[in-house]
Chain A
Amino acid sequence: MKRALPAIALHALLVVGALLTLAPLLWMVSASFMPTGQANTFPPPLLPSRPTLEHYFDLFTRLNLARTFANSVVVTLGITLSSLVVNSMAGYAFAKLRFRGRDAIFRVLVAAMVIPAQVGMMPLFLMVKGLGLVNTPWGVMIPGLAGVFGIFMIRQFALSIPDELLDAARIDGASEFRIYWTVVLPVLRPILVTMATFSVLSAWNDFMWPLIVLSDDRRYTLPVALASLVGEHVQDTELMMAGSVLTVLPVLIVFLVMQRSYVRGVLMGSVKG
């Protein structure tokens, strides 16, 4: 009995913490199924009196959020694919190929990680405008096409590739690109999966840059559309909650599926970063 008490207290705390953590998300889901107006009654209800899908229909018909969803998918996939290819080539080169200036260039890149993105935002916007890419998915994707953090993580991982493996392929007469494609990429698979997860989550959730680049609501990504909708529909609690569910659900699924590799990446970034 004496030993059981601390265990009970500990698990009580864990459960209370878990409930507090999940409560906002559970309420979001519950409110999205409430009939119009129910969320704004007193005392605040926890469950829908008469569950309805009308707000989800509303999102896809009247508010045309299917297009917004597609915009988010395009931008997210574009950033993820580009950054994986570009960063893995560079990360591998920094880790395993010998060339003049390697360490100096790498040091400059790593040092640049302390510079916050905002200091370049105004000129970057003018560049995007000059290229005619304002209000396009390309404009949104541009800052994410390559990234120092990704290069850094992939380099750390690639350092463990044995040189013998690469030399053996060279002796067999394989070109350097072939070696990268058939020998290096398969070895890098775990870190690439991790970086893909990172990239999907951050690109999908990104707000400030898409807000700056996109001005036409047909081009909005989900976070930008949501922030703009809440301006005109702030009274439509249930509708806004349906929109929030639609925005959060995809990243939540990606996280739950990719959890192990994602967590490993967080820890890698903290130990070596």
Chain B
Amino acid sequence: MSALTTERRQQRAAWGFLAPALILIAVFFFVPVIAGLVMSFTDYDVYAIGAPDTIRFMGLRNYQQVLADPEFWHALRNTLYFVVVGGPLSVLASLSAALLVNAKIARWKGLFRTIYFTPVVTTMVAVAIVFRYLLHPRYGLVNEGLTLLHLKPIDWLGDPHWSMPAIVLLAVWKNFGYNMLIFIAGLQGIPEELYEAAELDGAGAGARFVHVTLPALAPTFLFVGVMTMIGQFQIFAEPYVMTQGGPLRSTVSVVMLMYEQGFRWWRMGYASAIAFVLFVIMLIATLIQMRLQGEGRRP
């Protein structure tokens, strides 16, 4: 009897505790997502905002248009460049920093870790503006550094060949500290005995790294790889602030294209279709990565 009432009381209390979160998430997340899917099959545009009765169902026409739009493929190419070039570079920078900070003979580990992590917490818009000036062809410190190394100065933000590398540079600088933390935790989780056993077998530092460290970090690589990629597919603020998509649209990303279509030209049906195509591409890319790295893990 008493057990039953306690259980009932708990049920009621549980729903009371859940209600605010579930209502907020349902109304402001699930409903918009489903509405976005529906919207992507309609011609919702600037006229529809004033007169919703003009909306027509278009079937898959938006999706056909997205896939036939050279602008979309261009934006996708830029985004993939960011993912394929920026991703590995960023993971490499994170792993290098983690190995340095975590080295047995390293001192002031906490200080270096904090310094390397600092860019992660900064405001993207602010540091993108800082990089705009740092990458200035004449007055920027980056080109000043290149000159000191006897390299030719680069027109980072004016030359369409260098604009994406410039954005990769900003993103790597901004984000490597985050994955560094995760790699440090992964490194600290490797049992010391593994290294000792390898050393007894006569493995040098390089062999120990390849045969002990890297395999032990496989799950970390998978997590870091997937999370980094998901973030990079959604790149928006970096090009928006640093290059406005230029020069010659060489840095327009898919999310930026969606933003322009949806909130500058108010073609919301079309913009929703772009968003869902990106979502599907992200899912496929994630599955491929899990497949590849999962197989790599098995001997």
Determine whether the beta carbon of A11 is less than 8 Å from that of B130: no
Tell whether A123 pairs with B133 under 8 Å between CB atoms, given A11-B106, A90-B22, A212-B263. no
Secondary structure type dominating chain B contacts: helix
* Chain B residues with CB under 8 A of A230: 129, 132, 241
* Chain B residues with CB under 8 A of A208: 236-237, 255, 259
A99 to B27, CA, bound (A): 22
Most chain B CB atoms below 10 A, which of A6, A122, A204? A122
* Chain B residues with CB under 8 A of A7: 105
Q: Mark B118-130, 1 if CB is under 8 A from A, else 0.
A: 1101111111011
Q: Mark A1-43, 1 if CB is under 8 A from B, else 0.
A: 0000011001101100110011111011001000000011111
Tell whether A93 pairs with B14 under 8 Å between CB atoms, given A21-B118, A230-B132. yes
Tell yes or no: A66 within 8 A of B by CB. Answer: no
Report the nearest A residue to B147, measured CB to CB. A43
Residues of B within 8 A of A (CB): 6-7, 9-18, 20-22, 24-25, 27-33, 35-37, 39, 44, 49, 97, 100-101, 103, 105-107, 112, 114-119, 121-127, 129-134, 138-141, 144, 173, 177-178, 181-182, 185, 223, 227, 230, 233-234, 236-237, 240-241, 255, 258-259, 262-263, 268, 271-272, 275-276, 278-279, 282-283, 286
Report the nearest A residue to B21, measured CB to CB. A90
Tell yes or no: A77 within 8 A of B by CB. Answer: no
* Chain A residues with CB under 8 A of B140: 44
The answer, among B29, B49, B133, B262, for a CB contact under 8 Å with A237, is: B133
Most chain A CB atoms below 10 A, which of B15, B49, B130, B240? B130
Determine whether the beta carbon of B15 is less than 8 Å from that of A119: no
Chain-B contact segment, one of A48-56, A185-193, A221-229: A221-229
The answer, among A14, A94, A98, A267, for a CB contact under 8 Å with B100, is: A14
* Chain A residues with CB under 8 A of B112: 14, 17-18
Tell yes or no: A116 within 8 A of B by CB. Answer: yes
A125 to B263, CA, bound (A): 9
Tell whether A123 pairs with B35 under 8 Å between CB atoms, given A10-B100, A97-B13, A252-B122. yes
Report the nearest A residue to B179, measured CB to CB. A270
Determine whether the beta carbon of A116 is less than 8 Å from that of B282: yes
Q: State the total of A-B contacts with C-beta under 8 angstroms.
A: 265
Report the nearest A residue to B9, measured CB to CB. A176
Determine whether the beta carbon of B18 is less than 8 Å from that of A89: yes
A105 to B29, CA, bound (A): 15
4 further contact pairs, Cβ within 8 A, besides A86-B24, A127-B28 = A42-B138, A99-B10, A118-B258, A121-B275
Tell whether A251 pairs with B122 under 8 Å between CB atoms, given A121-B275, A208-B259, A267-B181. yes
Report the nearest B residue to A146, measured CB to CB. B24
Tell whether A247 pairs with B123 under 8 Å between CB atoms, given A39-B133, A122-B271. yes
Tell yes or no: A69 within 8 A of B by CB. Answer: no
Determine whether the beta carbon of A24 is less than 8 Å from that of B173: yes
Determine whether the beta carbon of B100 is less than 8 Å from that of A43: no
A126 to B36, CA, bound (A): 11
B242 to chain A, nearest CB (A): 10
* Chain A residues with CB under 8 A of B141: 23, 27, 44, 46
Report the nearest B residue to A237, measured CB to CB. B133
Q: List 13 A-B contacts (CB under 8 A).
A: A14-B106, A43-B144, A44-B144, A89-B18, A90-B18, A99-B11, A122-B36, A123-B39, A201-B121, A224-B125, A234-B132, A237-B139, A247-B123
A184-222 residues with Cβ-Cβ distance < 8 A to B are: 201, 204-205, 207-208, 212, 222
* Chain B residues with CB under 8 A of A207: 124-125, 236-237, 240
Determine whether the beta carbon of A247 is less than 8 Å from that of B100: no
Residues of A within 8 A of B (CB): 6-7, 10-11, 13-14, 17-18, 21-25, 27-28, 31, 39-44, 46, 85-87, 89-90, 92-94, 97-100, 102, 105, 109, 112, 114-116, 118-127, 142-143, 145-148, 151, 170, 175-177, 180, 201, 204-205, 207-208, 212, 222-224, 226-227, 230, 234, 237, 240-241, 243-244, 247-248, 251-252, 254-256, 259, 262-263, 266-267, 270-271, 273
A256 to chain B, nearest CB (A): 8
A232 to chain B, nearest CB (A): 13
Determine whether the beta carbon of A142 is less than 8 Å from that of B28: yes
Most chain B CB atoms below 10 A, which of A14, A31, A39, A256? A14
A234 to B241, CA, bound (A): 11
A196 to chain B, nearest CB (A): 14
Determine whether the beta carbon of A99 is less than 8 Å from that of B100: no
A254 to chain B, nearest CB (A): 8
Tell whether A118 pairs with B28 under 8 Å between CB atoms, given A24-B134, A86-B21, A252-B122. no
* Chain B residues with CB under 8 A of A6: 105
Report the nearest B residue to A109, measured CB to CB. B25
Determine whether the beta carbon of B10 is less than 8 Å from that of A98: yes
A270 to B98, CA, bound (A): 15
Determine whether the beta carbon of B276 is less than 8 Å from that of A119: yes
